[in-house]
Structures are given as C-alpha cells and as structure tokens.
Structure 1
C-alpha cells in the first residue's frame, strides 16, 4: 500500500464520518459523548488530518450506529453491483499494522459486507465496544494461517478453513500468535433491533 492510497482512504473515512454525523444531527460534542472519542480527535478525523486506529474507528462506528466496514465505503456510492479490485483500496491500521480491504460494492443496498484482512505475525487488536444498534452479526473465515478470537471470556483458536459465527455484543480481541501473516475474510450483516 502506498502513501497516496492511505491518504485517499483517510479522506474517504473523513467524509463518511462527517456525513454520517451530519445525517444523524449530532454535534461533535454529542458524538464524542456517545462513542468515547474526544471532540478534538473526531474533528481531526473529519478533516482528514489524523490516521485513526481500527479501535478508534470501531468506537466511532458504534456511536454512529453503523458497522465499522461502512466507514470505508465510498462517500458517493456507485450503483454498480461489481466492486473491482482497483476500487477496493487497502487500509493499514497504524497501531497493529493489519491491512483491511472492503471487498463488497458500496451503495447497492445489500445488508452484507465482506472484508478481507491480512493480519501480521504477533499482532493484536482489541475492540472494547459491546452491544450495538443495529445488531451486527459476523462470520470470520480463516483463509490462511491461524488466529485467536476472544469474545468476552470465550477464546476460539481458528485454523485455515475454520469459520466462526458470532454477534458483536461484547468486547472482541483478534490475535495472531504465530510468526507468519494470517489472512481471513469477515462477512458482516447488520440487523435492526426490534
């Protein structure tokens, strides 16, 4: 991933966060109170002047009521049902070094999103948020290598070919305990609460 791609994706994230916040009628202070990210950091992210971590983006997504993957959607969704590889820019988490790529086309009205992740050796990412609205279901399918996923107090060791289905209703930690990069796909579906 080159620096230009990272800068472009940070601008995309900036536009999405600002647009979602405005659409919900939230001030910077209100969103900060909802998600636990400071007002000044949200402002920096919305101006594209910060490289937020995956954990910070997850908090923002939870506060905005959307899945994390939707923060990477194009601001002007294409109605094209095909997402070409060239239209799926990778994003690197500045904290863990993991690289994610939204595979699904944005703006087609599907309740599903697919994300591909390349997870470096010994990397760990801990998402602290619990229950979300809408409720988010996801399945993690390990394509290569091995990862550990901890959901609350439950730890799952996943090998290539294994698939874990769960709801995002408690803290989640991803860990690659090995010395080689792991690759996995995440399939996400948001379901409104009744």
Structure 2
C-alpha cells in the first residue's frame, strides 16, 4: 500500500476507534480540521510535525501511524525490508523506514531515518498523552539534537536516550546525509521512590 494511503487509512481508523469527530481531533492535536480531512482523504502529504501532533492526540507513537494493521500472510514476527513502509517528510526530505514487525505486540518499535544535510525537523509536544521513551543511535554522519533546550551533537556510534514530552529538534549540521536508528518504547514508567 502507498504510504500516503496507509497514513490516510490509519488516521481515519484511529480517530473513529476513539470516537472522535474531526473537530475533536483538531482541538486535541492543534491541527486544523481541514488539514485532518485532507489527510484522511489522501489529498495532502502531511509533514512529520503534523503527524506527530496527530499521533499524540490519538495516543499512539508516530511509528504506529506507519504500521499496517496486520502482518503479511505467513510472515509472523519477521519484517521483510521489501514490505517495510517508507515515508519522506515533504517539508525536510527526511526519510523514515518502519522496521518493526507488525502485529506482534512488542512494546519496542524500531525506525531507520535518513536525514538530509542541513535539514531540520522540530517536534513541539509540551504534553504527551502516551509515555514514550526514545533512543537515537547515529549510524552515519552527525546529528544535533535539542531536547527541551538542552543540545547534544552526536557522531556515528553515539546514542542519546530521552523521554518524549518536550520540544525536540533534529538537525543535520553536516554536508552529507546522516542515518540513525530510533528505538521507541511505550512501556509505562515505574513509580518513583521517595526518601
């Protein structure tokens, strides 16, 4: 299935499953009702920032929007490269490949990202509806990642752990494309002990 068609189907299905109208999802996400309608009718290709807002309002991780509802017949817990969904952000040109097998019930999702030289993507989510932890492992190139005002420069082999819920900016400061692996987990936090 075409990725834009998959996104249209997933946003619509998740919205309906949660009993939300277009207006209610617009209010919860900060994305206009008309934009959501265009996405669901496959009349526009949304940016990563827009998809992130919708995923948050729907209570799922961003990679979940790119996952089909059922694995290909006979594949089971294997995600074949030829069957993995690949999407390119129309605003930045970054390419995201959903690696994890679909329908296995794992709390971990893996995503491979190709990030163009000089590109920047900013995710603004002051409050996340789902507790998601993320690790970024740079495979090639360099990435500047800023989480809630704190910045790190990562080179190939470096890994950054963070919890989603703050403003996060990804920037490739280099002259060559970067590539990194995202590992996301929606495992609930353990209660903190008090002294």
TM-score w.r.t. the length of structure 2 is 0.93
Please list every run of 5 or more consecutive structure 1 residues that lacks an aligned counterpart in the other structure: none
Q: Which runs of 4 or more aligned residues in structure 1 lie more than 3 Å from their structure 2 counterparts after TM superposition? A: 75-79
Alignment pair present for 1:105 and 2:119: no
Deviation at 1:192, TM superposition (A): 4.0
The 5 Å alignment of 1:13-92 reads 13-78=7-72, 80-92=76-88
Count of residue pairs brought into register by the alignment: 188
Per-residue CA deviation, residues 121-176 of structure 1 (Å, 9 max, x unaligned), is 00000001133122000000000000000001100100000000010020100000
> Aligned with 1:135: secondary structure?
coil
Q: Which residue of 2 aligns with 1:180?
A: 176
Aligned mates of 1:130, 1:141 — CA distance in 2: 24
SS at match of 1:62: helix
Q: Which moved more, 1:69-78 or 1:57-66?
A: 69-78
Residue among 120, 123, 127 paired with 1:127: 123
- Whether the 8 Å CA contact 2:57–2:129 is kept in 1: the answer is no
- Structure 2 alignment gaps of length 5 or more: none
Could you state the TM-score of these two structures normalised by the residue count of structure 1?
0.93
Alignment RMSD:
1.4
1:133 and 1:48 mapped to 2: Cα distance?
26
CA distance in 2, matches of 1:142, 1:188: 15
Cα distance in 2 for partners of 1:14, 1:132 equals 22
1:95 alignment partner in structure 2: 91
Match of 1:190 in 2: 186
